[in-house]
Amino acid sequence: MKQLTGLPVGTVVQACSTTYPPAGWVQTGAYYTSSCVAWSNPSFNNNAWQLKRVS
């Protein structure tokens, strides 16, 4: 988990994906990483995002 509050506009972070990006952030990429596996993901579907703070 990473605290996103207080990071400046334009910051880019990598995060495990959820249903929606947090308010003020947009998804700029998606990819698979074994670091975000909470259950078996045999198809290696995207499970992480690159997020950019926009507001």
Q: What confidence category does residue 48 fall into, taking pLDDT thresholds of 50, 70 and 90?
A: very high
Q: Is the pLDDT of residue 41 over 70?
A: no
User: Which of the two residues, 27 and 39, has the higher pLDDT score?
Assistant: 27
User: Which of the two residues, 43 and 27, has the higher pLDDT score?
Assistant: 27
Look up the pTM and report it.
0.81
Q: Where are the domains of the chain?
A: 12-53
Interior angle at CA 25, CA 34 and CA 49, nearest 5: 15
Determine the Cα–Cα distance for residues 36 and 27; give it in Å rounded to an integer.
16
- HSE of 12, CA atoms in CB hemisphere, 13 A: 6
| Residue type, position 7, single letter | L
